[in-house]
Chains A and B, each alone.
Chain A
Amino acid sequence: MSGKISRRAFLKGAAGVAVGASLLRPSRAKAKVTTKQIRYVPSVCNFCSTTCSIMVAVNPKGKAVKIEGNSKSSLNQGRICARGQTGLQLLYNPHRLKYPLIRVEGSKRGEWKFRKATWDEVIDYIIKKLKDENIQPWEIAMPSGWFNCVFYMPVSLAFTLAYGMPNIVASPMQHCVGSSHFGNDLVIGDFNIHDEVLADYDKADYILAALGNASMGGISTSRAVRFAKAVRRGAEVVILDPRLSETASRATKWIPIKPGTDLEFFLAMMSEMLNKGYYNADFLKKHTNMPHLVFAENGQPVMEIDKKRNMPAKFYVYDENSKKIVAVPGYTNTNEKDITGKGISPALEIPANVRFRGKKVITVFQLFRKQLSQFTPEWAEKITGVSASTIRAVAKGFGTAKHPVMDPGWHGSRYRNIVLIRRVQTMIQALTGNIDKEGGWVFSGEHHEKVANFLRAMQKGEEVRPGEMPGMLFAMALLNLYGNPRSWKHGHPHFSFAFSIVNEKEGKPAVLMPAFADWGLDEAVEGKLKWLDGKPYQIKAFFINGNNPIRNFYTAERWKKFFTHKNVKLIIVHDVLPTEAAAYADVILPSTTYLERDEPFVYGNGPNPDLMKTTRFKVVEPLYDVKSYPDVAMMWLEKLNLLDPFYEWMEKLFGLPAEHYKKVVSEEVRKGKSYNDALRKATEMLLEKKHPGIMARMKKDGVVLIEKKEEFLKKSALFYKLPAPTPSGRVEFYSYMMAMMVQQHGYNEFIDPTIKYIPAEVTGKKIGENEFYFIYGKTPTESHASAATLDNKLLSFVNNLIDPLEKYGLWINSKVARKLGIKSGDLLEVVNTKTGQKIHIQAYVTEKVRPDTVFMPSSFGSEARQLKVAYGVGAPLSEIVSYGVEPIAAGFLSQEFTVRLKKL
C-alpha cells in the first residue's frame, strides 16, 4: 500500500517539474458547486401517456438544466426513461415554431412559404376565412393529440360543444384506446387501460404478454419499473412476439408466435384452463356472470331489463343450496344474495334438465366451456406454430400461479379481431380472480374515486355529470354526445357516426362505434357523404391540434390528399415543431411545450393505483411568442361570442362552476393574463377553498397523496367490494354490452356476446415466395412517430450508439436474407401486396425475427425539412401500412397485409 502511495507522490512531483508552471490555471471553483442553487419545479412528462411525474432542475439564471423522475410519485417511482430525460431537447430545440405564421399568398400548401404574423392577425385570419368560405362548425375536423384528452379534457369538450364542432379525430383512439382497449373494457368496465389499470407486475409470479413491446420494454416507465422487479425476483415471464423485443429478451420464455394468431393461442389457453380447472371458482361464482343462466337453445341470457333506465333489472342463477332458480339483482358486484337479500350459492354447473319458463337453461360457464371445447391446443398448434404442449404448459403455469398477470396491453389495433383478442386476454385474467387485488390488475386511484362517487350519487338519487362518470359510462356518455345527431343543434354528429348511420340505412358495411375516428373522412372531404337532410356533409377545414396525421394516421398519402384537396379551404396547425402536417398549414399557431405552462386543471396521476393529484407547473417562461391550447380555443370563441356556452359546458359536463370561471377569467384576462393562466387561477381558487394549502404542497412535491392503493383494495376493491361500470356491475364473460349492440344494430359475428372465432385476415393466407408477414413495434427511445423524439439529438445519439440499422432498419431473418442475397445495410424496396404501397428502407439482418416475418420500428422516416435531426432518417410506417378499419371501433388494420422485398 505504502509503495503505491509513494509512487503517486513521485508522479505528482515529476509532473510539477515537467509542466507545472506552463499551464494556465483558471482560478475558479468547480462548476458543480452551483448545484446548490438549483431549484426544482414539478411537472408531468409529455413523451407518452404514462404521464410520469417529473422534477425539473432550474439554475439561478432560469435555465432548465435537468429532468429527474419525481420520487414522491409512486407511479414512476423517481425514474423516467430516455425519452423523458430528453425533454429539454424539445424545449430548447432550435427548430421550434417560434411565432405565428401565415402562408404566403400564391404559394402552395406543403411548400413551406410562410410570413411572420401576430396572434391577433392569425386569429382574425381564421375568423375571416371561416366567414368568407362559409365554413360551418361541423365542417371543421380537429385531428388531435392524446394530451388534449388527458390534460385538457374539459377544454376540449367545452370548446367543441360550445362551438358546435363534433369532429374530434383523436390520435390514440383507432390505434389503441378505441379498438384494442375496448376489448378489455367490455369485460371489466373501465374505459382506457392506459389510465385505469396498472398491473402489479412487481408482485406477479407469472407474466404473460402479447402483441407488442410498448407497455414494458418499450418503455412505459410505470410498467417497466414494476416489470424489472419481477424479473429480478425470478418471476416466470412468457412473451408472445414474432420478434425478440426488449421485453422478450428479459423473458424466461420467448414464443415467436406466427403473426396474427394470438387469438388462437389465447382461445386454446382459455379452453385448457376451463377443462383442467385452472380457475378461481369462488371468484367466478360470486363476482362474474359465469353462473348467470342462458337458454340452451340459443345462448340468450335469462334476464329482465329495466326499460326505463335501460339497465338489467334481474339475472337468474341456480342456487346450489335450494336447488332452485333464483333471481339476483341487475346491478351489483356479487351473486351471493338473491333479490330479496337471502344468501345463496350460485352454481357454475347445473344439472342437465333444469328448465326456466319451460326452456332448458345452462350457465354462462357451461356455454363458454362448450363453445371453447373445439379450440384445443392441438387445433391452435396448427395455426400458431406453437406446440400444444407449450400452450398446455402456459395454461397450467398461468392458471395455477399465485399472482398471474396478463399484460393488459398498449397500442396495437393491428388485426381485425383485436377487440376479441383483448377480450379473451381479460377473461383469462378474470378466470384467476386476480383483478383489483394485490399482485393482479389494479384499477387506478382515480378510477376508484370516480366509481365510489358515482355509486354514492346513485344511492342518493343524484344526477352524475357525464365528465364525472367512471370508465365505460363516461365513454358511452361521450359517444352519446358526439355520435348522436340529436345532441347538436345543427343535427350533425361526428362525421364517422354520420357515415355509419348513412351506411347502415343503405345496408352498406358500418362501423358501430367509430369513436373520434377518421373513418369516412375521404367521403366527407370529397363531398360524397350525403347526410340525412339530403345535403352533403362536408369537411372543409382542419384544425390540427398537437398532432401530425401524416405520420400518426394511415396512410400518409391519404392525408396529403386531404390537405391538398380543392374542397379544403383552411388548415390550421397548433403545434410545437414544424412537422409534415405543419407544412400544409395555411396558418400556424405555435404552441408552448409542456415545460412552459401551468395547466388549467388538477388531474389524477395517470394509472397510479395510489390516488394522487397533480398538475403541471411552469418550469420556464415561454421562450418564444407561443400560446397554449386553451388560449387558442378561447380566443377563437371570444371572437364568435361563444365564451358563455363554453363555461356552461364546463359546468354541465364536469361540474366546474360557470359563474366562478367566467368571473375570475374575465378579471384575469382584463389584467393581461392569458386565458390559460386565468383558468388555472380560477381552478386554484376553488381548490384552495376546499383544501387550503393544497397548491403549495403540489408545487413543492409535484403530487398530493389522497389515498393509498392498500386502502382502496381493503375498502372498495372493484368486483370484490363494489360493482364496476359494466352493465351488470360484475366481470362480464358474456358481454351484455355487446348484446345491447346486437339489439341496436342487428347481429354480426364481431359483436357476438359470447365467443365467436374470427381469424385475422392474414391468418390462413398462403404466403408465396419472397412474401412476408409485416409487423411493427415500439423501441424504448421513440414515442409513436412523434417529432419530439425524432428531432432530438440525444435520442438520435442513443439510436446510433446501439445500432442504427436495428433502430431504423427492416428486420429480416438471416437465413432468409442469405437466400435472397440481402445483407445488413442493403437498401430494400418493400411492397405492400394488398395495395402496392412502397417504401425504401435499409435491411437489418438478424436472428431476432421469424423467417416468415419482417419487423419495422414504428416511428421514423420524417420528411419535414425543418426538422434537421429527424429529416430523412429511416422509413415511415404510415407509407407502407394500408388503410382499413375493423368493424367495431374503426381500429386500424395495421398488420393485415403482407409485403414483398426487392433489393435495390
Chain B
Amino acid sequence: MARYGMIIDATTCLGCNACTVACIEENQTAYWGDKVRTRVYEKEVGSYPDTDRIFQTQICVHCDDPPCVDVCPTGASHIGPGGVVLVDYEKCILCGACVEVCPYDARYFYTPQDVQKAREEYGPDNEHFVPHVDKCTLCIHRIEQGLEPACVATCVGESRIFVDWDNLTPEQEALAKKAVPLFKGSDYSNIFRGNFDPKPKIRYIIDKENAVPKKKVGVGVWLWHYLAKPLGLLSIAGILGVLGLNYIITKPQVKKIKEQLEEMKSEEKNKEE
C-alpha cells in the first residue's frame, strides 16, 4: 500500500508561485474568487538589516486521521487511494462542515457562481461540473499515470518533493528526517496540549521561524476535537444542525446549475446531430 504525500523544503522555496499557477491550470480552481488549492504566502520578519523573507506554502496536508472526513455527513469527503483525502463532487452537499473543521485552511466552496464562471473560463468540459467543496487531490489522476502532482512537477526551487511514505528513496529518507508536521510547536499544539495530531502526510523542512502559515482556531476545530472525536455520535446532530443552514441556502442554486448543465449538454448533443 502506498501512502502518498510530500516533503516541502521551505529552505529552497523561491516564492515564485509556479506551483500555485500550475495547480490552477491543472485543476481549474476558482482563482477568480481567491480560491485555490495551494499557494505560497510571504512574510517579512526582523528589522533592517536583519530582515528575512519567509515563504509559507499552504496546501492540504492529507492527514491519515483527517477531521474533514470525520465530519462529512455524506461520505463525500473520503480517504482515497494512497491515503489521499478526496471529495466526491456528486456526493457533496456543500454543508461546509469540512471547511470549518480543517485546521489547515485547505478547503473552499466551489459555489454555483464559480461553476458558472468555470464554464466560461475552462469550457463546458471543465472538471467542476457541479458545485462542491474543493481541495487538493494530490493530483491523484496524474499519480495514477505515473506523473508527479502538477505543483511538484514544476516547482522551480525543488522545494516540493513527492513521496510515498511507505517507500522512501534513500535521498528522501535523509530529507524526511528533517521534516516535521505542520503546526508542530505552534499555536495548535499549545491549545490542545500536544494532543492535536491528525497525522499529516505532507511535512515541512523549516530552518526559519514561522515558515508555515497559521490559522486561527475556529469553532469547528473545537467541536471536532472536543466533541466529535471523543464522543462520536453525539456531536453529529449538532454539527449538522449548525451547518445544515448552509445546505439549505445553496440547495436551490445547486439544483439550478445542474439543470442548466443538463440543458447545455442536450443542446450540444442536438447540435452535433
Q: Give chain A's interface residues, CB within 8 Å of chain B.
A: 3-4, 7-8, 10-12, 14-16, 18-19, 22-26, 28, 30-32, 34-36, 59, 61, 63, 65-69, 78-82, 84-86, 88, 216-217, 219, 221, 224-225, 228-229, 231-232, 244, 246-247, 249-250, 254, 256, 780-781, 793-795, 797-798, 801-803, 806, 813-815, 846-851
Contact = CB atoms under 8 A, between A and B. Distances in A.
B253 to A, nearest CB: 12
A797 B12 contact: no
B65 interface: yes
Contact of B16 (A3, A246, A848): A246
B124 to A, nearest CB: 10
Nearest to A234: B11
B39 A847 contact: no
A814 B44 CA distance: 12
Contacts, number: 205
Given A4-B65, A31-B125, A256-B49, A801 B17 contact: yes
Contacts of A65: 25
B90 interface: yes
Contact of A802 (B17, B247, B254): B17
A732 to B, nearest CB: 35
Contact of A59 (B15, B125, B130, B259): B125
A244 B50 CA distance: 10
B25 A67 contact: yes
Nearest to B90: A25
Interface stretch (B106-114, B151-159, B183-191): B151-159
B127 A32 contact: yes
Contacts of A814: 47-48
Given A69-B154, A228-B159, A815-B48, 7 more contacts: A28-B129, A66-B25, A85-B154, A250-B11, A250-B12, A250-B14, A780-B15
B51 A85 contact: no
A647 to B, nearest CB: 41
Given A231-B11, A801-B34, A15 B73 contact: yes
B195 to A, nearest CB: 16
A15 B51 contact: no
Given A797-B31, A813-B48, A79 B155 contact: yes
A232 B49 CA distance: 24
Contacts of B240: 14, 18
Contacts of A4: 65, 70
B258 A847 contact: no
A760 to B, nearest CB: 22
Task: For the complex of A and B, list the 4 residue pairs with the smallest distance between their C-beta atoms, beginning with the closest.
Answer: A15-B74, A780-B16, A12-B75, A249-B53
A11 B12 contact: no
A836 B72 CA distance: 63
A256 B91 CA distance: 55
A32 B141 contact: yes
Q: Which of B26, B48, B129 has its CB near the most chain A CB atoms (within 10 A)?
A: B48
A582 B38 CA distance: 37
Given A228-B159, A801-B39, A848-B51, A781 B153 contact: no
Most A CB within 10 A of own CB, among B73, B125, B156, B158: B156
Contact of B18 (A11, A79, A247, A848): A79
B161 to A, nearest CB: 10
Contacts of A221: 156
B21 A85 contact: yes
A802 B153 contact: no
A229 B247 CA distance: 48
B262 A26 contact: yes
Given A3-B232, A19-B74, A803-B42, A249 B16 contact: no
B263 to A, nearest CB: 12
Given A81-B18, A801-B34, A19 B93 contact: yes
A35 B51 CA distance: 45
A52 to B, nearest CB: 10
Interface in B219-242: 232-233, 236, 240
B138 interface: no
B9 interface: yes
Contact of B93 (A23, A63, A850): A23
B145 A68 contact: no
B126 interface: yes
A61 B22 CA distance: 21
Contacts of A780: 14-18
B52 interface: yes
Contacts of A15: 72-75, 91, 93
A383 to B, nearest CB: 18
A794 B129 contact: no
Nearest to A217: B14
Contacts of B247: 19
B12 A82 contact: no
B123 interface: yes
A848 B53 contact: yes
Most buried by A among B32, B69, B157: B157
B84 interface: no
Interface in B77-117: 89-91, 93
Given A85-B18, A847-B44, A228 B157 contact: yes
A277 to B, nearest CB: 32
A68 B236 contact: no
Contacts of A88: 25
Contact of A14 (B70, B123, B236): B236
B192 interface: no
Nearest to A849: B48
B57 to A, nearest CB: 13
9 contacts: A23-B254, A26-B262, A219-B16, A219-B156, A221-B156, A232-B12, A780-B15, A781-B17, A801-B34
Contacts of A11: 70-75, 236
Interface in B123-155: 123, 125-127, 129-130, 141-142, 145, 150, 153-155
A806 B51 CA distance: 15
B31 A794 contact: yes
A847 B75 contact: no
B46 A847 contact: yes
A738 to B, nearest CB: 37
Nearest to A59: B125
B136 to A, nearest CB: 14
Nearest to A202: B158
Contacts of B75: 8, 11-12, 15
Contacts of A59: 125
Given A4-B70, A82-B20, A229 B14 contact: no
B14 A246 contact: yes
A850 B49 CA distance: 8
A848 B141 CA distance: 41
B180 interface: no
A80 B157 contact: no
A249 B15 CA distance: 10
Contacts of A851: 48
A256 B46 CA distance: 15
A84 B123 CA distance: 22
Contacts of B42: 802-803, 806
B44 A846 contact: yes
Contacts of B39: 801
A78 B41 CA distance: 24
A224 B73 contact: no
B261 interface: yes
B65 to A, nearest CB: 7
Contacts of B74: 11-12, 15-16, 19
Given A81-B18, A813-B48, A794 B72 contact: no
Contacts of A23: 90, 93, 254
A303 B258 CA distance: 85
Contacts of A78: 153-154
B215 interface: no
Contacts of A225: 156-158
A24 B258 contact: yes
Nearest to B16: A780
